[in-house]
């Protein structure tokens, strides 16, 4: 594949290029903004997302006032060289200036998006469980298991694993789906109580891919 540089990007007549910020951990689109050549270079040089404000007509570093920094792990360019994706780690988990985790929190009819997409499910579940481990709310089933001790948390995973095996043996589709969902919950709970992120596990899987 031919090498590609910032000079090869196709900026529009204003000298700008659209940039999508995509979360490395969850895969969700955090925001869309614009960058000029200097902003792209600053992003590559510093490792933090820089954009160009069309209203203020200046370069800005994401999170420079709010603390919501975006650490850029990778910059991807589309096939025509006229759009970018910043693969980011959102440091405080709220990318939108309105206080939402991403800027695309509304549907076209104005209703609020409440549920994550399927590919976000496990890392978003872990966010919830990290909160349960930290705060142990009284009305939480997960907190109840945690309070019962690490052996009980492991035992729960074992119980769910057996139920998955039975479901697979029975071959009933809906039963398999339900039991595997329970197993994944128990697995992420175990990982969370031991300080292992689901991202670390999936990164290990990626290493094994041919």
- Give me 176's structure tokens: 């398999």
Is residue 129 within 8 Å of residue 190, measured between CB atoms? no
Residue 33's DSSP bridge partners are 19
Domain ranges of the chain: 6-90, 118-208
pLDDT-derived band at 4 (thresholds 50, 70, 90) equals confident
Neighbouring residues of 42: CB distance < 8 A, sequence distance ≥ 6? 50, 59, 61
Break the chain down into helix, strand, coil percent, rounded to 5: 45, 20, 40
* pTM to 2 decimal places: 0.91
Answer yes or no: CATH 1.10.287.1080 is held by domain 118-208: yes
Residue 77's DSSP bridge partners are 84
Position 106 pLDDT exceeds 90: yes
Measured over all CA atoms, what is the biggest interatomic distance in the chain, rounded to whole angstroms? 63
pLDDT-derived band at 167 (thresholds 50, 70, 90) equals very high
Mean pLDDT of 81-102: 96
Cα–Cα distance between 104 and 57 in angstroms, integer? 24
User: What fold characterizes domain 6-90?
Assistant: Ubiquitin-like (UB roll) (3.10.20)
């Amino acid at each position: 594949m031919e090498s590609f540089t910032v000079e090869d990007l196709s900026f529009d007549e204003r000298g700008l290029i659209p940039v999508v910020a995509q979360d490395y951990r969850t895969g969700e689109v955090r925001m869309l903004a614009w960058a000029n050549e200097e902003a792209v270079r600053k992003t590559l040089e510093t490792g933090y997302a820089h954009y160009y404000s069309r209203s203020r007509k200046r370069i800005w570093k994401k999170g420079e006032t709010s603390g919501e920094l975006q650490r850029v792990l990778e910059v991807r360019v589309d096939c025509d060289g006229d759009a970018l994706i910043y693969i980011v780690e959102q440091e405080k988990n709220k990318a939108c200036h309105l206080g939402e985790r991403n800027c695309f929190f509304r549907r076209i009819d104005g209703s609020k998006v409440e549920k994550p997409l399927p590919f976000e499910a496990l890392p978003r579940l872990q966010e919830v469980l990290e909160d349960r481990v930290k705060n142990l709310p009284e009305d939480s089933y997960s907190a109840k298991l945690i309070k019962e001790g690490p052996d009980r948390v492991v035992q729960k995973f074992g119980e769910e694993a057996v139920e998955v095996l039975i479901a697979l043996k029975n071959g009933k589709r809906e039963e398999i789906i339900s039991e595997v969902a329970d197993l994944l919950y128990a697995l992420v709970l175990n990982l969370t109580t031991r300080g292992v992120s689901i991202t670390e596990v999936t990164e290990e899987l990626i290493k094994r891919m041919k």
